[in-house]
Each structure stands twice: as C-alpha cells, then as structure tokens.
Amino acid sequence: MQTKKRSAILLLTIIMMLSIVLTACGGNNNTAGTNNQAANNGAANGAANAGASDTSEEATIKMLLVGGKPADYDQVFGELNKLVKEKINATVEAEFLDWADWSQKYPLKFAANEDFDIVYTANWAFYNDQSLKGGFLELTEDLLSKYAPQTWANMPKVAWDQAKVGGKLFMVPNNNVEITDKVVLIREDLRKKYNLEPVTSPETYAAYVKAIAANEKGINAFQAKAADGWKWHELDQIMLEQQNEWNLVDYNFPLAYKMDDATGKVFNVYDTPEFKQLLAYYKDLADNNGWSRNVVSNKNDVWQDIKAGKAASYAQNIGTVAANIMEATRENVGIELAIADLTPDKKKISAISTQNGLAIHATSKNVERSLMLIDLLQNDKQIHDLSMYGIAGTHYEAVGEDKYNAGPSAANYSPSGFSAWGWNSALNRQDAAYPKVADDMFNTWTSKVYHFPLETFVFDDSKVKNEVANIGNVMLRYAIPLEYGLIKDLDKGQADLIAQLKSAGIDKVQTELQAQIDAFLAAQK
Amino acid sequence: MNRNGLLGEIRKNRALLLMLAPAVLFFLVFAYVPMAGIVLAFKQYNHTGGVFGSPWNGLDNFRFFFESGNAWLVTRNTALYNIAFIIVNNVLQITVAILLFEVAGKWFRKIAQSVMFLPYFISWVVVGAIAYNLFNYDVGTINSILTTFGMEPIDIYNTPSYWPVILVIVSAWKTLGYGTVMYLAAITSIDTEMYEAAEIDGANIFQRIFKVTIPNLYPTIIILVLLAIGNIFRGDFGMFYNMVGNNGLLFSNTDVIDTFVFRSLTTSNEIGLSAAVGFYQSILGFATIMLANYAVRRYDKDRALF
Amino acid sequence: MSASATQTSSKAQTAGKRRGTDVLLLQIIGYIVITVLAVFCFVPFLLVVSSSFSEEQSIIENGFQLIPTTFSTEAYSVLFKYPEQMLRAYGVTIAVTAIGTVAGLFLTAMTAYVLQRKDFKWRNQFSFFFFFTTLFSGGLVPWYLMIIKYLHLKDTLLVLILPMLLNVFYIIVMKSFMSSIPEAITESAKIDGAGDFRIFMQLILPLAKPALATIGLFIALGYWNDWYNALLFISNENLMPLQYYLYKMLGNMEGMRKAMMQSGAVVNVSLPTESLKMAMTLVATGPILLAYPFIQRYFVQGLTIGSVKG
C-alpha cells in the first residue's frame, strides 16, 4: 500500500514538473514575442521620427471599449471609417467589453496579450494597475506632439501631469472640465409642504431630513445606493471633504490633506474633531429615523425609490442628478425635485483628468496611427460628433454648435451607452433638455475652482498594497456602521475604528504617502 | 517492479488504460498544465514577464491575509459553516429521499420531488433580493407579521447571531432537491431482495429503513461527505455575498475566506494576492482530505476516495 | 424490459406497504414532512413568478408579493425585445447541453467504470490523479491562457462544451454508484472472452441507468446554467448561450449605472430591473421544468439492479 501511494505521488510530481516545463516553454516564447514586438515598435517609432508620418499603408486599428455594443454600431462605424480612411488611411474596429463583465475580462485581455491597439482606461478602470504592470505603451512628448499634435496643444498641462504614473505618461486623458462635487437631490414639494428653509447647508439639510422622517410615514428621508464596496457614508464627500475643504488622496483609505495647506500634511480623517462632530450629526439623523436601519443592506436602486415616492433624498454627482430631473419631467411622475448644494461657498476641485481616457496597448503594432486616431476623435468636429452621438438626424439632432436633442433612434447609438467618454473634449455637446439650474450651478462652481500644488499628485500604492487592502476591509466593517449610527457608543466606536486601522497598518501607509507628497512638492519647487 | 513487469502490466491493462486516456488527457490539459500558475502566489506579476518571467517576491503575497488579524476568524467561519452545511444538508436530503421512496402516492412523489428542485434554479442574486424583502426592518414580511400580532419587530440585518441559522436554512433549502436526487438514485439501486429478506425476518418498516436502507447508503454518504470535506475551506461566495453583502455589522459571524478576500482585493487587481489565498485554501483542504481519507481507509479501504 | 422492471419495483413497493401501524405511521410522517418542505420550496418560486408579472412600480412600492396587485408583462416584453436573439440563445444552450451531456456522460461513465474495477491495479493512483485537481488550481489566468493561446478556442461552440466535459465530482459519484453493480457480471463476461470496452458498453451501461440518469441530469444542469465560460470566451452574439444573454442584459444595466457614477458621466437608464430578474429566472428555468417530468421517472421509480437480475 505504502509503495503504491508513493508511486502515485511520484507520478503526480512528474506530471506537474512536465506541465511546468511545458508551460514554461510556452511562457518564454510568449515573453520573447512581447519583447520583439516592443523592439519593433521602438524601431518603427525611430523610423517615423526620421521622416513625416507615413500613412501609405492601410492600417486596421483595434479599439477595446467598455460598455454595450450599440445596436447601430455597423452603421455609425461604417460612416466613421469613411472619414478615418480618408484622413489617415485607416479603419477602426471596436470590441466592446460589456458592463456586466468588463472588469473580469479587461485584465485577462492584457494577460493573454490579445491583439488590440487602443484601449479605454480610467482611474477607476485599471489605469494605475495596468500602467505599473506594463500593459500600456509609454507616451512620450515626442510621440504625442508628432502624432497627436492637436490634442497635445489643446490639453491643459495639468491634465497631462495628473495622468502620470511614477513620472511616466500612459494615457491620453479626456479633455473636459468636470467638477466632482456631490450634491443632494431633494423633494422640493415636500420641503414646501413643511415650510422648510431652502436646503443649502448641512444644518438646513438636517432639518429637512428630520421633518420628513417625522411626518411622512413610509418614506426614507435619506437613502443610500445598494452597497457596492463603497467605503464611506454617502454624504461623506459633502460633509467631510467639501465642507472642510479637505482632499482625500484615495477613497480606499481615510488619509487627507487640507487643500490650502502648502506643506501637504497628511492626516487620518477619522482621528479629527471634525469627524467626531460629523458622527454626532449623523447619529442625530439616524436616531430621528432619517434613514432606514437597514441602510447598509439596501438592495434597491435609490433613484427608483425616489421616483416611487419611497425615498426623499440622496447624494450624487450633478450630472446624474440633473439627468434624474430630466427623467422625472419627461415621465411626469408628479413629484417636484430640486438640487441642493450643501457647500455652496466652499472651494471646488476640478475632476482629475484620468476620470476617462484612452491608452495604447504595450504591444500595439499601430502606435502612430492609433495616436492619430485619438487626435481625430478628440479634435475633429465631424468625427467627434459622429463617434459620440451617432449619425445626425438619426441618432441625434444638432442644436447649434454645442447642444443636441435625441434623435428618432437615439436608443441605438447613445452617448451614455458605452465609454465614448474616453475622448470627451471641448467639442462635446450638451443635451438641450439639460436643466438650467444644474447648468447655472455648474457655472458658478467653475468660478470657484481652486488650484493647488497637490492637484496633480497621484499616490503609488504598490509598496503598501497589503495595508491598503486591509484598511479597506476595516472601513467597511467598522466605519460604515459607525457613520450610519448603528453603533450606540460613538466614542467607543471611533476608538475601535482607529485602533483597527492602526493594526491594519494605516501608519505605514501614512508614512509612505507623506514621503511621496514631500518628494512631489520638493520636485515642484 | 522491473521494467518488463511494468510493460507487462500496461499491456495487460491496455484496454482499461485506453478507456481512461480521454479523462487523463482532459485533466492534464485543463487542470495540470494550468496548475503551474500556482507559482503566481509567490510572484509579483507583470505583463512583460508573464506567469513565469515575473519576479519572485517570496511570501509577500500572503502577508495581507495573515497580517489582517482576520485570517483565523474567516478560516474558522468557513470551516464551521461548511461542516454545518454538510451535516444538515445531508441528513435532510437522506431523510427526504427515504420518505419520498416510501410514500405511496405516485403523483405526490413526482410533484413533490419536482417542487423541491425549484430553489436550485433561483439565482443567489434573486434569493438575496427575496431575503431582503423578508428580513428588512421597516417593511419586511417577517416584521409586518410580528407587528400585526403586536410583537416587537426584530432587526435581523443588525443582529449577527441570527445569521448562522439563516444561512444554514437557506443552504439546506437551496440544495434540497439536488442532493435528494443523488440519494434517491442510490436508494433505487438497492437490491430489492434485501428488503424482502428483511420482511421475512419480521422487521417492521422502521427497522427495515435503519437496517437495510441506511446501511446501503453508507458508500454514497461517505463519498459525498469526503468530496465535500476537500472543499471545506472554500466558502460559497455567491451565497454569502448576496445574502450578507457589505454589511460590516454581521462580518464577525458571516465572513468567510472568499468574501473577505473579495472585499480586500476589489481595489487592487493583484493576481498574486488571490493566488496566495487560493493556495492557502488548497493546502488546508489537501491536509484535511488526506486525513479524512486515511481514516476511511482504515475503516474500509474500498470506501475511500483513493 | 422496462415493463418488467416497473412491475418488479411496484411489486417490491406493494410488498413494503402491507397493512400495519408502522407503515401507516411512516406514511403519515412522510406526507407531512414532504408537504411542509415542498411548500417551503414552492412559495419562494411562486413569489418569483408573480413578481415577474408585476409592474415594476408596484414592486418598488410594496416589495415582492405572492398575489400580484397589478398585472404586467413588461418584463417579458423587455426580455423578448429581440426575439430572434433570444431564440438563438435558446438554440445555443440546447445544442451545447445536448452535445455536452451525451459526451460528458459517456466519458464520465467510462472513466468511473475503470476506476471502480477492483482488478485494475492503478485505480487508486488514477483516482488520486483526478481528485487532486479539485484541491489545487492555478487560477484563472493560466487556464484562460491555455484556452485562448494554446487551444485557440475563443468564439467557438467547442469552448462552451470542452472545459466542462468532465467533473471529478461526477466521476467519483458515478464510480460509487457503479461499485454496487455486482462484480460477477464483469467476471463472467471476461470468462466468455468479452473485451473491457464491450463489457462496459453492453453490460454495465444498461445496468447503470439510475446513476446515468442522475449524473446526466447534473451534467445537463451544469451546461444549462453555465454563463461563465461564455463570459470569458464568447464575444460573437450568435454563439451566446441563454444564461449569458440574460446575465448580460441585467449586468449591463447595473454595471452601467456603477461605471457612470464613477466616471462622472450621466446615469440615464430606466429599466424594470426587479421584475426583469424574476422573469429571467422563469425564462431560464421554464424548459427544464417542462423536460423534468420525462427524465424524472428514472430516479423516482427507478430501474433497480435487483429487478434486472431477477
């Protein structure tokens, strides 16, 4: 029996070794291939640099985009290809990674080194990760100024700087002014019904929440969206960041600096008097039934709840809230909504450019032509309109130079269907039905945008990956219940949270972050 | 064993070996060759290096898990939940299979058996949504019933102690039909002469069940339990994630290795980190199954897995 | 043969149901326990059915209800918005399930038969060889590379069949079932000069019907419910199986909402997701529920070894 077992294990070992050897060979071939390709690219670049860009040979550029394939893809991209063919002698083929599963497929496409040239990326779509792993081609000033000259000229320097990872650029960010400040969508009719002051501050909002909680049975005064791993109370961006003019470096750990602090000193937001105060504020709302006791387990869509009259406020970015109001008007749902900015006088931060962008695959064989295409997508009015909004008269109706109305078959090619946002630019059109209040609010914000040295700073967490992973877990487990008022003793809860963060290694992250910030500021002087 | 002997053995068994060949080839291609990817647990993966060329980083990938302070808690939870599932689910399935076999009504049997299969088809996402409808504090069905009878509502989503019971019930409910089929098949394979012999001996129906039916199910039970034991350190992610979600208050009682790792790694996409935890689960599972199999072998070597 | 088999088994059952308080007691217990459990299993499904026919608005307002207050087929009209796609998805699933089940079941049975042959010297070693793969795995990336880079199976029907062809769990359960077939059958056939493969095909397979029905059911369910292989390897709309088609429809809406919030883009989708989820369950389960009674007889009534022998 013994010998039998031993021989079984032996057999197994042999097979495993065999398989390792087999794959190792395969793997080596693979890497060799990659290196060759990279070398070829280099050579191609060198050659191209020597003369004018050579487009004599027709190229097919494969794009990897995120989102559902539009129903009229063939039609629109057919038109697009006519233009692209004429301008840079190339055709475009797009592959769409569906919203349902893109985050699983996206890294695999790189791991298997599949064939594609341009790929959508963003700070929330693997940008840092793939940059560090070598998935993207580094974009040098040379390449950009030569093959994407308009983009290179039109893009603000801040946008390029924000897109750098470890000092290197891997993305052509979108060129679009956005402000990430969150606002609250409220029920204006209910506010009037209870004669409440306009909601413009945390205090007036608290009054609104309490009034509704006390008088309207069956309505959650505040509702959070279904939990998806977000590690904060949904009002935190407003109440903690915007209200105190702090900037959280990364929402995956609770470290922030003051926007106007030139030294960029980092601190743990949970360990501040402001947070303590905020906890009391939240607890007060929770104790007054401002939100459901099961708010963290919510599985419903908040906006649907609001539309159905089951929830009376939620926090979201201004564009989405404006879209909600458009939808409510369109469908005539019989409730009156309003946008409440709880921090109107505070400094605003413009969104980081890496919210959306396009990158070039590290092993692309069409680097120059890909950059040319990106240049066209961002800056050529005709191509931009076509790729973003579809065919005029069919998918959209142009209204002036910068607005549009949905066309008869808008559903078959819509700007919200897939990640065409990767080439957002000044040429973007706005939906003509966009509520004026939202537009006005946005315009006043742009005048309050605050620029500060650290706005281009991006944290490289590769040395503290383990700690960041554990901190995230602690936040979900200890911070969220505490903030939603589910823990009776606030002081003890806060002390627990801080202690747990310490053992998860927040100090190490803080030290690393501070060191990177100091180095960054020193380099800027 | 000399070479001739081995060749001789191969020749003697060549038909059987040929019959095994497709399966062996299948597992070589789809399991053993990719298994080389285990090295990723010890590497800092990048695309330029690929699976084999990436730099080694020792045990770094294991650090986040073991330094989290939760490794023991989630490992224990995973094992305890699985043990509870194995016991409860199997006992229930065996009972139901026996009763289904014994009850007289043919149509009743058929319909009951089909109906019990229904939960298997309801995805965890939908089960989670139904559970939320039942359990939530404000408008949940359970609390509506409690309050109409003048009782205090219960706050299920904020009370960790309810959850082990809930999860065990849900698991039993979801697997009932599936598992019953397996035991039913085993019962129908029992030689009817054995029943007749038992009856001639004057056994009543309960004695017959305990003396004939159940002992004849032992091989099936042992195999199914052994198979389950190999996976005792792997949590059913779909179930735990859709039932509990990100509700931190419940984690002390509901967090299993798979959900813990999922939450930890949503922000980073490090293949190495998940490979490391997977390796840890494999090693634990391997040790457990070797022990269990050894124990079974000592008792009856024909019943063991290998 | 099947007539005589049913006869014998029903004889065995009537023999077991002689009058007597013990029998009566068992019947009572049996009916009560099974009825309770069946209701327990049925009610949630009823909830799914009735919710799938409810208006989205009423689900949001009142939650899922056993008796719908409103009736609407909106969810189904969304699902069948492109009927030809839906039909094609059904077609792919049915083809994959049929081919996969027949091939998989045959290979599973053949492998299991060899592994349970007591005179096969290396049966334990091979059992271990198979079982080991359930414990250790190299993870998603190498497996994905294998299928995409080396086997080049991307966007083929084969990729939906091949990776799920064999499952160690089924092999081992099948092996355990088969070991209840008397060894004497194999032995006497060998003496008659029959080869191993012929013994398997002509003697063992017919005797293993309950086991084949059971494992076949599991394999078929596995193929029917699989969407993950399609997720990874299928991008051609014409090859999408039903479950993946449904998964995508729902996942797209939820994924889009999430991505738009993160990207700062505008969220502007409104579809009846709750009733849709429920309708999908029904659409995906329906055909199986219809087919189930036809295969059910194999393990509810069963062909028993004893009856064939007798």
The domain locations on chain B are 70-303
In angstroms, the CA A12 to CA C132 distance is 9
The domain total for chain C is: 2
Residues 463-492 of A with CB under 8 A from B: 465-470, 472-473, 476-481, 486
- pLDDT tens string A421-461: 899 999 999 888 888 999 999 999 988 889 888 888 888 88
Q: Which residues of chain B have a CB within 8 Å of the CB of C177?
A: 185-186, 189, 220
Helix C123-135 crosses helix B214-230 at what angle (to 10 degrees)? 50
Q: Which of A103, A133, A136, A361 to mutate to test the interface with B (most CBs of B within 10 A)?
A: A133
Tell whether C152 and C221 lie within a shared domain: yes
Tell whether A188 and A259 lie within a shared domain: yes
pLDDT over 50 (residue A417): yes
pLDDT over 50 (residue C12): no
pLDDT over 60 (residue C308): no
In angstroms, the CA B227 to CA A356 distance is 47
Tell whether C130 and C203 lie within a shared domain: yes
Tell whether C86 and C209 lie within a shared domain: yes
In angstroms, the CA A18 to CA A5 distance is 20
Instruction: Write the Ramachandran bin of C152: left for phi over 0, alpha for psi from -120 to 50, otherwise beta.
Output: left
- Asked if C248 and A98 come within 8 Å (Cβ–Cβ), the reply is yes
Tell whether C160 and C11 lie within a shared domain: no
Question: Is C177 near chain B, with CB under 8 Å?
Answer: yes
- pLDDT tens string B172-219: 999 999 999 889 888 887 878 888 888 888 888 899 999 999 999 998
In angstroms, the CA B98 to CA A18 distance is 48
pLDDT over 60 (residue A45): no
- Asked if A355 and C264 come within 8 Å (Cβ–Cβ), the reply is yes
CB pairs under 8 A between A and B: 149
CB A173 within 8 A of CB A162: yes
Q: Does a structural domain hold residue C59?
A: no
CA distances from A373 to A69, A90, A150, A369, C268 (A): 20, 9, 11, 6, 28
Tell whether A339 and A486 lie within a shared domain: yes
Q: Does a structural domain hold residue A39?
A: no
- H/E element, A255: strand A255-258
Model pLDDT, residue B285: 95
pLDDT band at C185 (very low <50, low <70, confident <90, very high): confident
In this complex, the chains that touch B, judged by 3 or more CB pairs closer than 8 A, are: A, C
Tell whether C131 and C39 lie within a shared domain: no
Q: Does a structural domain hold residue A23?
A: no
Q: Does a structural domain hold residue C63?
A: no
Q: How far is A192 from chain C (nearest CA, A)?
A: 24
Model pLDDT, residue C225: 93
pTM score over 0.80: yes
The domain total for chain A is: 2
CB A370 within 8 A of CB A115: no
Q: Does a structural domain hold residue A77?
A: yes
Fold type of domain B70-303: MetI-like fold (1.10.3720)
Residue of C nearest to A124 (CA): C262
Tell whether C88 and C37 lie within a shared domain: no
Q: Could you tell me how far CA B64 lies from the centroid of its own chain?
A: 26
pLDDT over 90 (residue B20): yes
Tell whether C103 and C154 lie within a shared domain: yes
Tell whether A271 and A321 lie within a shared domain: yes
CB A504 within 8 A of CB A466: no
Tell whether A197 and A225 lie within a shared domain: yes
The two structure tokens encoding residue C206: 């017919």
Comparing CA positions, the residue from C292, C215, C306, C214 lying closest to residue C13 is C306
Q: Which residues of chain C have a CB within 8 Å of the CB of B13?
A: 120-122
CB pairs under 8 A between A and C: 129
Q: Could you tell me how far CA B74 lies from the centroid of its own chain?
A: 16
Mean pLDDT of chain B: 90
- pLDDT tens string A123-140: 888 998 899 889 999 999
Question: Is A25 near chain C, with CB under 8 Å?
Answer: no
Model pLDDT, residue A381: 94
Model pLDDT, residue C19: 59
CB A149 within 8 A of CB A379: no
Q: Which residues of chain B have a CB within 8 Å of the CB of A293?
A: 137-138, 155, 157-158
Q: How far is C99 from chain A (nearest CA, A)?
A: 27
Question: Is C248 near chain A, with CB under 8 Å?
Answer: yes
- Averaged over C24-35, what is the pLDDT? 94
DSSP per-residue string spanning C50-118: HHHTS-HHHHHHH---SS-SS---HHHHHHTSSHHHHHHHHHHHHHHHHHHHHHHHHHHHHHHHHHH-T
Domain span holding position A323: 182-347+453-524
Residue of C nearest to B41 (CA): C138
C148 → closest Cβ in A112, A125, A316:
A112
- pLDDT tens string B238-260: 999 999 988 999 999 999 999 99
- Fill in the DSSP letter of residue B30: I
Q: Does a structural domain hold residue A127?
A: yes
Q: Does a structural domain hold residue A30?
A: no
Tell whether A407 and A367 lie within a shared domain: yes
CATH number at residue C261: 1.10.3720.10
Share of chain B above pLDDT 70, in %: 98
Comparing CA positions, the residue from A356, A406, A371, A388 lying closest to residue A79 is A388
Task: List helix spans (H) across B136-162.
Answer: 141-148
Q: Does a structural domain hold residue A14?
A: no
CB pairs under 8 A between B and C: 285
In angstroms, the CA C17 to CA B104 distance is 8
B45 → closest Cβ in A16, A20, A133:
A133
Ranges A410-424, A474-488, B139-153, C233-247: which has the least confidence: A410-424
Residues 23-42 of B with CB under 8 A from C: 23-24, 26-27, 29-38, 40
Tell whether A324 and A249 lie within a shared domain: yes
Domain end, chosen from A427, A445, A472, is at A427
In angstroms, the CA A136 to CA B227 distance is 44
Model pLDDT, residue B121: 92
Comparing CA positions, the residue from C216, C169, C207 lying closest to residue C186 is C207
Q: Coil, strand or helix: which one is B12?
A: helix
Question: Is A98 near chain C, with CB under 8 Å?
Answer: yes
Comparing CA positions, the residue from B113, B107, B292 lying closest to residue B187 is B113
Tell whether C18 and C99 lie within a shared domain: no
Give the burial class of A65: count Cβ atoms within 10 A of its Cβ; 0-12 exposed, 13-18 middle, 19 or more buried: buried
CA distances from A200 to A282, A316, A325 (A): 17, 15, 18
Tell whether C138 and C87 lie within a shared domain: yes
CATH number at residue A334: 3.40.190.10
- pLDDT tens string B32-82: 999 999 999 999 888 888 888 899 988 988 988 998 888 999 999 999 999
A310 → closest Cβ in C60, C254, C261:
C60
Q: How far is C304 from chain A (nearest CA, A)?
A: 35
Mean pLDDT of chain A: 87
Tell whether A401 and A252 lie within a shared domain: no
- Averaged over A361-366, what is the pLDDT? 94
What length does chain B have? 306
Domain span holding position C36: 3-52
Residues 221-260 of C with CB under 8 A from B: 221
Tell whether A343 and A474 lie within a shared domain: yes
Residue of B nearest to A291 (CA): B138
Residue whose entry in the numeric block shows the structure tokens 């402000």: A179
As for the ipTM of the complex, it is 0.91
- pLDDT tens string B276-297: 999 999 999 999 999 999 999 9
Q: Which residues of chain B have a CB within 8 Å of the CB of C125?
A: 306
What does DSSP say about strands A164-165 and A168-169: parallel, antiparallel, or unpaired? antiparallel
Question: Is B120 near chain C, with CB under 8 Å?
Answer: yes
Question: Is C60 near chain A, with CB under 8 Å?
Answer: yes
Q: How far is A249 from chain B (nearest CA, A)?
A: 14
Q: Which residues of chain A have a CB within 8 Å of the CB of C235?
A: 95
Tell whether C208 and C110 lie within a shared domain: yes
How far is the first Cα of chain B from the last one, in angstroms, to the nearest whole number?
21
Tell whether C206 and C277 lie within a shared domain: yes
Q: Which of A23, A28, A363 to mutate to test the interface with B (most CBs of B within 10 A)?
A: A23
